[in-house]
Amino acid sequence: MLASASPRRRELLASLGLTFTVEPADVDEAVLPGERPEHLVSRLATAKAEALADRHPEALVIAADTTVVVEGQVINKPTDAAENAAFLRLLSGRTHDVYTGHALRLGAASEGGVVRTRVRFRRLTDGEIDRYVRSGEGLDKAGGYAIQGLGAAHVAEVEGSYTNVVGLSLPAVVEAARRLGVELV
């Protein structure tokens, strides 16, 4: 069971040939004062997994949360086009970190962790930023871009798990499921 409304996470799990149910967990995703990004994504992924595990104790529940950090600033999903453009200007020509926390529950047993991937953007022109924002692709994504879509043209280098940037580190999730006794691949 996937505790996420993210189409990207759904696509990633489907790429493994898995059959699963999607049931988004409704949790407050507010950042707590002074909360570090790795704690934020771990806390939210755990809360999402727990919300569904209580209702479905027989199912393997997979939950995740992703955030982007550039120069110490956490940037989640932009609220509108202007904020999306501001995020892209901030990322342009810089390296940022993508943190994805994952939490798996099977009955009372749980596994989880946080994966960090470093992403370097090439320098973007104002025109490129404007065209990307107009595409609308970045509006529902942490950091305001999709590495698996048009945003791939902005990325000069990835250090770490590519699927983590998409929204779920498949290698980490497969290992966590294995520790719970479930073979996903």
CB 171 within 8 A of CB 161: yes
- Domain 7-179: assigned CATH number: 3.90.950.10
| pLDDT at res. 165 | 97
- Which of 26, 28, 54, 65 is catalytic? The answer is 65
Query: For 26-70, how does the pLDDT look when each residue is reduced to its tens digit (9 = 90+)?
Result: 899 888 999 999 999 999 999 999 999 988 999 999 999 999 999
140 is catalytic: no
| pLDDT at res. 30 | 87
Helix, strand, coil % over all residues of the chain, rounded to 5: 35, 25, 40
Percent of the chain topping pLDDT 70: 100
- Average of pLDDT values for 140-165? 96
Domain ranges of the chain: 7-179
Query: For 63-88, how does the pLDDT look when each residue is reduced to its tens digit (9 = 90+)?
Result: 999 999 999 999 989 999 999 999 99
Mean of pLDDT over the chain: 96
| pLDDT at res. 54 | 85
| pLDDT at res. 75 | 92
